[in-house]
C-alpha cells in the first residue's frame, strides 16, 4: 500500500517508520529542510515542498496513494491537505491529526477527513480507561461510519458477569469485537464466559452507548 504523509516532524516520521516496517511504501512531504536533514527514515521517499500547494500534491502523485495522512502540527494545514487529497485526487482514506481540541469539530467529511486523530482526546480516554471500572469509555470515533470504539471493564457485580457471550441480548447497532483478560486477547465466541475484570471492546453507534452501559453496569 502506498501512503503519503504530510509533515515530517516527530509524529510523521514515527508513523512512517511503523508503516515501512509493515511493508508499505511511504512518501514524506515537508517544506522545512531541517525536517529532511533530521530524517531517521531513509527508506521513505522524500519531497521537500509545501503540502498545501496543489502542484506539490500533483508531483507527489497523490492519485496513486491509497491513504494520505495529514500529520503536521498545524490544524489549518492538515485540513487543507485533507480537502485537496479527497476532492482533487479522490484518495480513498484520509487520516488527519488534530492538534487543538477546539478544532476537532472541523475534522469531518466536509473537509475530506475520513478519520481524525486527536492526541489530547486519546490520552484523556486512556486515563479514564485506566481508572474507571463499570463506566463506558469512548476510545475512538469512526467518522465515516458514525460509530465509536468504546471500552468497559466489567465490574464484579455486573448482571452479565458469568454469562456466556451468546446468551447476552446485546443492543442493536453494537458489536463486541474483543475481550481482553489479563495479557490475553480473546475472540468473543458465543461460549466464552464473561468474567469480572474483563475489558470489553465494542464498536457501537453513538445513540446506543447508554443502552450498552445500562446492560453492563450494576443495577441500583
Superfamily classification of domain 132-216: Regulator of K+ conductance, C-terminal domain (3.30.70.1450)
Confidence of residue 56 (pLDDT cuts 50, 70, 90): very high
Confidence of residue 62 (pLDDT cuts 50, 70, 90): very high
Q: Mean pLDDT, to the nearest integer, of 119-143?
A: 63
Q: What is the mean pLDDT of the chain?
A: 88
Name the residue ranges covered by the structural domains of the chain: 2-117, 132-216
Asked whether the predicted pLDDT for residue 5 surpasses 60, the reply is yes
Confidence of residue 97 (pLDDT cuts 50, 70, 90): very high
Q: How many Cα atoms within 13 Å fall on the side-chain side of residue 72?
A: 21
Q: Mean pLDDT, to the nearest integer, of 7-26?
A: 91
Q: Give the separation between CA 216 and CA 173, rounded to whole angstroms.
A: 16
Strand-by-strand arrangement of the 2-6 sheet? 45-48, 25-30, 2-6, 67-70, 93-98, 115-118
Asked whether the predicted pLDDT for residue 36 surpasses 90, the reply is no
Q: Mean pLDDT, to the nearest integer, of 48-68?
A: 96
- Give the global pTM: 0.63
The domain 2-117 having CATH identifier 3.40.50.970: the answer here is no
Q: Mean pLDDT, to the nearest integer, of 80-94?
A: 96
pLDDT value at residue 101: 84
Asked whether the predicted pLDDT for residue 77 surpasses 80, the reply is yes
Amino acid at each position: 500500500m502506498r501512503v503519503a504523509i504530510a509533515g515530517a516532524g516527530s509524529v510523521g516520521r514515527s508513523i512512517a517508520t511503523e508503516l515501512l516496517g509493515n511493508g508499505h511504501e511511504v512518501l514524506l512531504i515537508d517544506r522545512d529542510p531541517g525536517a529532511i536533514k533530521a530524517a531517521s527514515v531513509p527508506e521513505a521517499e522524500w519531497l521537500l515542498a509545501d503540502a498545501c500547494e496543489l502542484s506539490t500534491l500533483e508531483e507527489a502523485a497523490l492519485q496513486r496513494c491509497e491513504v494520505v495522512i495529514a500529520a503536521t502540527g498545524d490544524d489549518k494545514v492538515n485540513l487543507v491537505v485533507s480537502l485537496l487529497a479527497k476532492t482533487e485526487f479522490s484518495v480513498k482514506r484520509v487520516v488527519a491529526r488534530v492538534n487543538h481540541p477546539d478544532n476537532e469539530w472541523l475534522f469531518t467529511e466536509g473537509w475530506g477527513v475520513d478519520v481524525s486523530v486527536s492526541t489530547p482526546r486519546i490520552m484523556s480516554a486512556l486515563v479514564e480507561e485506566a481508572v474507571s471500572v463499570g463506566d463506558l469509555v469512548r476510545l475512538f470515533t469512526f467518522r465515516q461510519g458514525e460509530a465509536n470504539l468504546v471500552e468497559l471493564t466489567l465490574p464484579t457485580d455486573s448482571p452479565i458477569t458469568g454469562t456466556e457471550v451468546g446468551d447476552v441480548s446485546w443492543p442493536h447497532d453494537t458489536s463486541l469485537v474483543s475481550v481482553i483478560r489479563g495479557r490475553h486477547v480473546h475472540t468473543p465466541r458465543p461460549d466464552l464466559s464473561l468474567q469480572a475484570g474483563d475489558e470489553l471492546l465494542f464498536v457501537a453507534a453513538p445513540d446506543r452507548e447508554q443502552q450498552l452501559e445500562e446492560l453492563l453496569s450494576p443495577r441500583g
